[in-house]
Amino acid sequence: MFARLKEEINYIIEHDPAAMSKLQVFFLYPSIHVRIFHKWASFFYRHRWFFLARFFSQFARFLTGIEIHPGAKLGKRIFFDHGMGIVVGETVVIGNDVIIYHQVTLGANRSVAGKRHPTIGNNVVIGAGAKVLGNIVVHDGAKIGANSVVLKDVPADGVAVGVPARIILKDQPDYDMYYI
């Protein structure tokens, strides 16, 4: 447990130029706090103690401004930068080494049973205010621009920008213009 926490803290220090020390990250970064509470909430959710699961997730939301459903599956080294206003739905799957900025929604676009939220691959960056909706896949290395509304799959190393999001591939001339 402590090794995983140390790994999370080191990832934040590597990716946030404002982070001055491990102590600062541990005590003052909501990303660390919400990850700890999500571990507990997820444990209770998997054991079908839904009230306790939602209690921990709502308490974490109260403290951090980040709402992660206890059923969401989170990988390693996820950095919720600034945190406030982030919403992660029940069937979301997030890979490793992901950076998610404030006001991001990983949500559903309809009320149906089963998988209805996005799957986020490894090494993905999701810009501030982006909305990623529905049972779609954001593949490894993709980037989503600020305030984009993504309603379809984003290929590996692609960039999604706009409302609704337009996909720009690495070999297209506009790629460097939209890279975040």
Q: Can you give the residue ranges of every domain in the chain?
A: 1-178
Average pLDDT over residues 64-79: 96
Superfamily (CATH H level) for 1-178: Hexapeptide repeat proteins (2.160.10.10)
Give me the helix-helix angle, 30-46 and 50-64, nearest 10°: 170
pTM given for the model: 0.90
15 assigned to active site:
no
Per residue in 122-166, pLDDT (tens digit) is: 999 999 999 999 999 999 999 999 999 999 999 999 999 999 988
Which of 11-15, 78-82, 111-115 has the weakest average pLDDT? 111-115
Q: Indicate which residue of 38, 102, 117, 139 is catalytic.
A: 117
H or E element in which residue 60 lies: helix 50-64
Within 10 angstroms of residue 160's Cβ, the number of other Cβ atoms is 27
Using 50, 70 and 90 to split pLDDT, how confident is the model at 169? Answer: confident
Cis before 155 (ω within 30): no
- What secondary structure does DSSP assign to 1-45, as a single string? -HHHHHHHHHHHHHH-TT---HHHHHHH-HHHHHHHHHHHHHHHH
R_g over Cα of the chain: 16
Contacts 24+ apart (CB under 8 A), 52-58: none
Alpha-carbon distance 121 to 55, whole Å? 28
